[in-house]
Amino acid sequence: MKINVTNLQDRREKISDTVVLVDVLRSGTTIVMALKNGCKYIIPFKSIEMAKRAGRKLGPKAILVGEDYGLTPPGFDLNNSPSLVVKEKVKGKIICFRSSNLTRMLEKVRRLRRVKNILIGGLINAGALARYLKDISPQEVHIVICGNISRAFNLEDFIGAGCIVHRIKKAELTDTALAAMLAYKSPGSIDRIWQGSTARHAVKIGFERDIPLCIKESYVDIVPIYKDGRIISARER
């Protein structure tokens, strides 16, 4: 397996058939926790309006989860917060989901002709993602760091990507994959996430409490996959 880490900024880059979208703060973590807590599936939407329209159509079996610049859009039930998608709120529900970066990156990736497998996560399910990748054993994989609203590169997703690379172990690594793995393996790397731009923004808008859960490495064994417009939990094979 050849592993690349990318932020999809280079249009000439040929993306392989297997992609992992890494969004540590906070979408990737929220999706993992929602599936863990029994939500039926998640429908990602590009815009707030599209999510609302779908929510109205689905009625009481749906809830609206998401953010815009980190804040809960008017009319949404829950913020894009892994600590809010608890069993009492999400069990058996369909989540209409919208976030600034993950849904934008997902949209970008699903339009690429060669892409067949789209996995989603963060540090919280890095171990499960690595095991899943070793199981399906694609020739090549692109791990995508989703970035944040103001930057195409962000620290926590780079470290999250590096954690997945490290846990896959035997693979051919590109320069970006080597760099991400080194950053992850650097002493105290995970605590440094607090100094990154996304974490500082999360603290500023009052979501500091989410960060400890988001940076808990390999805490949940769920692999979200995107299939036919829905994000569901892949059974580990």
Which residues of this protein are in contact with its own copies, per CB under 8 A?
9-10, 151-155, 158-159, 173-176, 178-179, 182-183, 185-187, 189, 192, 195-197
Nearer to its own copies, 92 or 187 (CB): 187
* Distance in Å, CB of 26 to its own copies, minimum: 16
* Distance in Å, CB of 115 to its own copies, minimum: 21
Nearer to its own copies, 217 or 221 (CB): 217
* Distance in Å, CB of 157 to its own copies, minimum: 9
* Distance in Å, CB of 162 to its own copies, minimum: 9
Q: Would residue 32 be called left, alpha or beta, if left means φ above 0 and alpha means ψ between -120 and 50 degrees?
A: alpha
* Distance in Å, CB of 45 to its own copies, minimum: 26
Residue 116: CB partners within 8 Å, gap ≥ 6? 17, 18
Nearer to its own copies, 77 or 140 (CB): 140
Residue whose C-alpha is closest to residue 96's, from 134, 136, 53: 53
Nearer to its own copies, 15 or 64 (CB): 15
Nearer to its own copies, 58 or 173 (CB): 173
Burial class (CB in 10 A: 0-12, 13-18, 19+), 18: buried
How far apart are alpha carbons 101 and 23 in whole angstroms?
A: 8
